[in-house]
Amino acid sequence: MSKAANGRVRTWITRESLDDFAQFEDIVREIGSVEDGALLFFQGRVRRTNRGRAVSRLAYDAYGEMAERELSAICHEALERFDVGSVAAAHRVGDLGLGEVSVAIAVTSAHRDDGYRASRWIIETIKVRLPIWKHEHYEDGESHWVGAPAMEAEAPAGAARFE
Amino acid sequence: MDRISVRTLFFGVYGELAARREGSAELAADSTVGDLVETLRGPGGLDWLPERVVVAVNHSYAEAGTTLSDGDEVALIPPVAGG
């Protein structure tokens, strides 16, 4: 991987809040360039209703060292696959309340189409590759590991992929 | 070396089902990821562990045929749910 590519990607896994999107704008201003005419920003937030159940909070478990490495690898791969200038991406771990940001992705590109495609590819790839697990707690007091076999059996094949 | 020892990590629902986050396993030298999974699923072991469980060795996804070395860190990866 070239040094130039390294300088255009910033990724991290954190227990700290990601709710403030200004920090991502600051980063891509720093690592991006004035050749980039577009900034695409995506936030994933903790949703109240998942598969018909009322969620009260979430806890994310992660394989820390590997998650750091995979998130960086995914974003570097995005630079190779799409014509984008810079990528900043972060994922939360630990306890999150409703509405809190769990994942954030900022992509700059010369033209908007590349940014949209790269941003979409990054979030979908995070969902299948990043070693992070979601423990959902419901308002009725129960809890469940999302993706655990018992729940997957009830969901249509592939349903989880594009949520 | 006749035997090797690897560190095993259990995440998410696997940690809950195994009632532990980490452990270790003794294997014959030149054992593969597949051999380790078979050992873990063996008598008195983790019979709920899928035969084709996703595994990472030293922080990278690995195939069943990957050969293990003494001191490797092997993570058992349940279906991921980031995002």
Q: Classify residue A23 as exposed, middle or buried by CB count within 10 Å of its CB (0-12, 13-18, 19+).
A: middle
Does residue A60 register a pLDDT over 50?
yes
Amino acid symbol at B68 = L
Verify whether the Cβ–Cβ distance A160 to B15 is below 8 Å. no
Select the more confidently predicted residue: A45 or A163.
Answer: A45
Closest chain B residue to the Cα of A147, Cα to Cα: B79
Closest listed residue to residue A42, CA positions, set A91, A111, A83, A79: A91
- For chain B, list residues whose CB is within 8 angstroms of any CB belonging to chain A: 9, 11-13, 15-16, 56, 59-61, 75, 77-83
Kindly state the average pLDDT of the residues A12-36.
95
A134 touches B: beta carbon within 8 Å: yes
Q: How far does the CA of residue A8 sit from the closest CA of chain B (Å)?
A: 22
Residues from chain B that touch A44, judged by Cβ atoms under 8 A, are 83
Number of helical H runs and strand E runs in chain B: 2, 5
Distances (CA, A) of A117 to A43, A45, A107, A121: 15, 20, 10, 6
Does residue B41 register a pLDDT over 50?
yes
Closest chain B residue to the Cα of A59, Cα to Cα: B12
For residue range A68-106, list pLDDT tens digits in order: 999 999 999 999 999 999 999 999 999 999 999 999 999
Which pLDDT score, from 0 to 100, does residue A158 have? 38
Q: Classify residue B63 as exposed, middle or buried by CB count within 10 Å of its CB (0-12, 13-18, 19+).
A: exposed
Which pLDDT score, from 0 to 100, does residue A5 have? 62
Kindly state the average pLDDT of the residues A136-162.
65
Q: How far does the CA of residue B10 sit from the closest CA of chain A (Å)?
A: 9
CB atoms within 10 A of CB A97: 10
What is the percentage of chain A residues whose pLDDT exceeds 90? 84
Mean pLDDT of chain A: 89
Q: What is the pTM of this model?
A: 0.89
Query: What is the pLDDT confidence band of residue A149, given thresholds at 50, 70 and 90?
Result: low
For residue range B56-78, list pLDDT tens digits in order: 999 999 999 999 999 999 999 99
Rounded to two decimals, the ipTM of the complex is 0.92
Q: What is the DSSP annotation of A36-60?
A: --EEEEEEEE--SEETTEEEEEEEE
Which pLDDT score, from 0 to 100, does residue A120 have? 97
Q: What is the DSSP annotation of A140-154?
A: TS-EEETT-HHHHTT
User: Using CA atoms, how far apart are residues A34 and A9, in angstroms rounded to an integer?
Assistant: 16
Residues from chain B that touch A74, judged by Cβ atoms under 8 A, are none
Verify whether the Cβ–Cβ distance A126 to B59 is below 8 Å. no
Q: How far does the CA of residue B49 sit from the closest CA of chain A (Å)?
A: 11
Does residue A163 register a pLDDT over 60?
no
User: Using CA atoms, how far apart are residues B4 and A154, in angstroms rounded to an integer?
Assistant: 41
Select the more confidently predicted residue: B37 or A149.
Answer: B37
User: Using CA atoms, how far apart are residues A86 and A103, in angstroms rounded to an integer?
Assistant: 17
Judged by DSSP in three states, B31 sits in coil
Q: How far does the CA of residue A2 sit from the closest CA of chain B (Å)?
A: 21
